[in-house]
Structure 1
Amino acid sequence: MTRLICLTTSLLVYLAPLALTLQNGWAEWPDRHGPTQNGVVAQADAKDLPVQWSATENVAWKTPLHDEGHSSPVIADGRIWLTTATPDGTRQFVIAIDEQTGEIIHDRLVFENQEVEPLGGAVGFNNYAAPSCVLGPGAVYVHFGTYGTARLDPQTAEVVWQRRDMPCRHFRGPGSSPVLHDDKLVLTFDGVDQQYTTALDAETGETLWRTDRSTDYDDLGDDGKPLREGDLRKAYCTPAIVKVGDQTQVLSVGARAMQSYDLETGKELWTFRHDSYNAGIRPLWIPEKNIVIINTGSRGAELVAIRLDESTQGDVTDTHVVWVRERGNPRFAMPVEHDGLIFQVTDNGVLVCIDADTGDELWKERISGDYLASPIRADDHLYFFNQSGLGTVVKAQREPEILATNDVPEMATSACPAASDGAIFVRGKKYLFKIQSP
């Protein structure tokens, strides 16, 4: 009986984040953070993932990519989708690659831009193809921030509909990826001039709602203008979509505050105030503990656990915080959870294991290099890829255990890895790699 209860609980954990795997009928990698938006590989795809590889060992293929992009690969129906853009942002492309062979099926120019806002101080870091695609039944959705959003036919890569009328001064380039749920495509714009979330009808592209952030940024200088040209209002966060009771919520972290919105109407449900900006890490929902884990941004980034249940309403800053980890947190890589443990890697490669109930640090271990990419978890194995091409596999447990380190400089990455059908897909600077045991 105990074993049955445990199995049932485990199943509910996978169902609770509204897994696209079950909702849409296919278990692949339709979102930049996987089928459950939390970096967890579906059980069917996890069992045969390799632990060791090199430039030649366990590499099924590598496919050259043109131009540049931070977008992560997404996968459905045997095709891998990602975006690229010219360094000046005037041309933006979507590429489809055959999952089995690595052959390029489509290389489509989607948008051309006459005027492109420079990337400011972020030159050399961000680019004009940072948001990832998201996939739905019979649809590919591409997003380049204010430069354009489109639905494509996955068979032909032809544009079904497009929108180029959603304004935002990104200032340092777009970063938030689109999210798909319940026939709604959710987009986030946190620029220096406007900060809002909007939902489009996924079928037609029509706007269903738009909600501006209610945040008091408290960043005006003596002249009444925002300090640092509005940079303190910037964020890059991809929202999480969760179900609490009978209500589906959009959880979005911005500068100086995060908000939750009703997916159906866009109504703001609750907010949490913080002191940071440039938030870029997706919230991690742990439904069996009724908490959501958020990272506040780049200035003194804090890791915060917020109680999330039907009582979470209004301003919850002083009422619903379970714990706060004030130091030693990443700015870019999303944490992953396993068996009540949270694993995260800092920008400079410090891997930390945290108790999800208390926020206490259980252990930390240095894994070499600098990290932008979020890890993935396959059963009790964690996969980390850094900007130098080092892939580290770690056991997800209460004591540190590094299983393998794999050094392939061409796999240097700033994009999240993907997993499907017993293989890992890594976007390097010049190639997309398929890592798979023979």
Structure 2
Amino acid sequence: MSHEKRPSLGSGKDSICGNRFLPLSFRKNLGLAHWKLNLRVFLALGLWALVGLPTRADWPEFRGPWGDGHVSAPGDTRPIGLPLHWSETNNLKWKTEIPYRGWSTPVVLGSQVWLTTAREDGHDFFAIGVDAETGGIRFNEKVFHSDNPEPLGNGASMNCYATPSPVIELGRVYVHFGSFGTACLDTRTGQALWKREDLRCRHYRGSSSSLVLFDNLIILTMDGADLQYLVALDKQTGKTVWKTDRSVAWNDENVPGQMAREGDQRKAHSTPLLVTADGKPQLLSAGAKAAYGYDPRTGRELWRVQYPDYSVAPRPLFDHGLAFIITGFDKHELWAVKTDGQGDVTDTHVVWKLTTNVGRYSSPLLVDGLIYTITEEGAVTCLEAATGNVVWKERIGGRYAASPVYADGRLYFFSQQGITTVLKPGRAFESLAANSLADGFMASPAAAGKAFFLRTKTHLYRVEAAQ
């Protein structure tokens, strides 16, 4: 029944999460974040090995609880029960119209789903809270207003004014609209606990980089045409804790003081990824002309690798000491980079490069030592993470901007035409299903419990197999 109303990794060993840094609900607030049982219950049950693990019902940030598109924890092979098939009339629990326009991923915690949206002219910016059980809109809060937003220009075909995804934890949701503002809202009331509107850069064709939560910090990526930096805010107060400028030399001023193409080749759209490298937390961040490893506590740059590309959008991946980075919009190559270097490691730490059939918008997936990347035109490439050797290539049709997810032994790819193609991972191409919803996908999906929360260009869906 539907009712319409007005989204295993390689076996790393650096942490209990499998060679990955413990994201979001792994972060020193065990009694606060994503627990339905308190710590005393865990102690009584002797479940020390599970302390810090998020509940299976959470999708707290862009690309999920691990930041890599995996629904389950690394090594967790228990079936979830997410649907293989759906349509506008099959396995659809509810469908809710979302006002205005937004490409942000929904975030899910318990009975709440939050997402952002904005007027198409960029004057008003909203946070929307939806009841996960009924699909009813519980909050529709105007968070920011701009009198003179810069037009998206030719970026309007792929971007909008509400593309960065929120982050949610118990009692708080953090929303971000690039230089238009960042805010923390109380999820019980919808009211702002703090706001920042003074973090400037010229996004030129709109912002896309999503928020990252680390311990007590909310980390923002501001890769504009004029200014390029990362900044960490105290999540309780919104005050700046550290700020780090990108260090790469641009070498793009044909006339002194005048950037080529209005600084277009200095901007980027990627979201950083938190990992554990050599036993220490590291923030992997892909920008224009270079990718970086940072200390997330201080913002100190640890290493960088340089390339000629810009406007990178996909989020990095990480496994077995390698960062997997798509370099940008123009050449859009996939590089494997060792993360144990210092300074400029371009000539010493690049292990391999894939130079063709790499996606410029969708983030890649890594499952059991194989990476899957999809181009805007729907060409999927499977390659070995250790060597970069291509295993197979197939075209599945459609056009793609949303990032895929992995769950229940399946790869889910979401097209701009509204088709979700489901593939079986492995060394041979195998298609399992193709599902259709109206309006198409720009936003990446979320999953919680046995349900997908899918945002099309106009609606939010809860897709779940009938019980």
Is residue 364 of structure 2 the alignment partner of residue 331 of structure 1?
A: no
Q: Which amino acid aligns with 1:192?
A: A
Is residue 302 of structure 2 the alignment partner of residue 302 of structure 1?
A: no
Counterpart contact for 1:425–1:433, Cα < 8 Å? yes
> How has the CA–CA distance of structure 1 residues 123 and 330 changed in structure 2, closer, same or farther, with 3 Å as cutoff?
same
Match of 2:416 in 1: 387
Residues 18-417 of structure 1: pairs in structure 2 closer than 5 A: 18-23=22-27, 24-25=33-34, 26-27=54-55, 28-42=58-72, 43=76, 47-286=80-319, 289-309=320-340, 312-410=341-439, 412-417=440-445
Q: Which amino acid aligns with 1:359?
A: G
Match of 1:3 in 2: none
Counterpart contact for 1:277–1:298, Cα < 8 Å? yes
Counterpart contact for 2:127–2:141, Cα < 8 Å? yes
Q: Deviations over 1:182-217 (max 9, x none)?
A: 111000111111000000001111100101101111
Q: Deviations over 1:134-186 (max 9, x none)?
A: 11232100000110000000111100000001011111111111110111100
TM-score by length of 2: 0.89
Q: What is the number of residues matched between the two proteins? A: 428
Q: Deviations over 1:239-264 (max 9, x none)?
A: 11112234322211111111221111
Counterpart contact for 1:41–1:378, Cα < 8 Å? yes
Counterpart contact for 1:17–1:37, Cα < 8 Å? no
Q: Deviations over 1:323-352 (max 9, x none)?
A: 000111011111111111111111100111
Q: Deviations over 1:247-297 (max 9, x none)?
A: 3222111111112211111111101000100011111011xx211100000
Q: CA deviation at 1:322?
A: 0.9
Q: Deviations over 1:212-234 (max 9, x none)?
A: 10111111113541110110101
Counterpart contact for 1:17–1:285, Cα < 8 Å? no
Is residue 460 of structure 2 the alignment partner of residue 432 of structure 1?
A: yes
Q: Which amino acid aligns with 2:345?
A: V
> Distance in 1 between the 2:23 and 2:260 partners?
41
> Distance in 2 between the 1:44 and 1:132 partners?
27
Q: Which amino acid aligns with 2:426?
A: Q
Counterpart contact for 1:136–1:180, Cα < 8 Å? no
Q: Deviations over 1:64-103 (max 9, x none)?
A: 1110011111111211110010011100001011111111
Counterpart contact for 1:344–1:351, Cα < 8 Å? yes
Q: CA deviation at 1:11?
A: 8.1
Q: CA deviation at 1:9?
A: 5.9
Residues 11-22 of structure 1: pairs in structure 2 closer than 5 A: 12-14=16-18, 16-22=20-26
> Distance in 2 between the 1:90 and 1:157 partners?
20
> Distance in 1 between the 2:22 and 2:129 partners?
26
> Distance in 1 between the 2:15 and 2:296 partners?
24
Q: Deviations over 1:23-62 (max 9, x none)?
A: 4443310011100000000259952011111111011110
Counterpart contact for 2:20–2:318, Cα < 8 Å? no
Counterpart contact for 2:14–2:277, Cα < 8 Å? no
Q: Deviations over 1:354-379 (max 9, x none)?
A: 11111011011111100000000014
Where structure 2 has 5 or more consecutive residues not aligned to the other structure, the ranges are: 1-9, 28-32, 35-53
SS in 2 for 1:409: coil
> Distance in 2 between the 1:327 and 1:271 partners?
23
SS in 1 for 2:157: coil
> Distance in 1 between the 2:443 and 2:59 partners?
14
Q: CA deviation at 1:21?
A: 4.4
Counterpart contact for 2:293–2:339, Cα < 8 Å? no
Q: Which amino acid aligns with 1:347?
A: E
Q: Deviations over 1:394-422 (max 9, x none)?
A: 11111111000112233x01010000010
> Distance in 2 between the 1:246 and 1:342 partners?
24
Counterpart contact for 2:328–2:360, Cα < 8 Å? yes
Where structure 1 has 5 or more consecutive residues not aligned to the other structure, the ranges are: 1-5
> Distance in 2 between the 1:373 and 1:301 partners?
16
Q: Which amino acid aligns with 2:337?
A: I
Is residue 447 of structure 2 the alignment partner of residue 419 of structure 1?
A: yes
Q: Deviations over 1:112-149 (max 9, x none)?
A: 11121111221232111011101123210000011000
Matched-pair identity in %: 43
Deviates more, 1:16-25 or 1:71-80: 16-25
How large is the Cα RMSD of the aligned pairs? Answer: 1.8
> Distance in 1 between the 2:451 and 2:314 partners?
25
> Distance in 1 between the 2:408 and 2:452 partners?
14
Q: Which amino acid aligns with 1:338?
A: V
Q: Which amino acid aligns with 1:401?
A: E
Counterpart contact for 2:82–2:408, Cα < 8 Å? no
Q: Which amino acid aligns with 1:164?
A: E
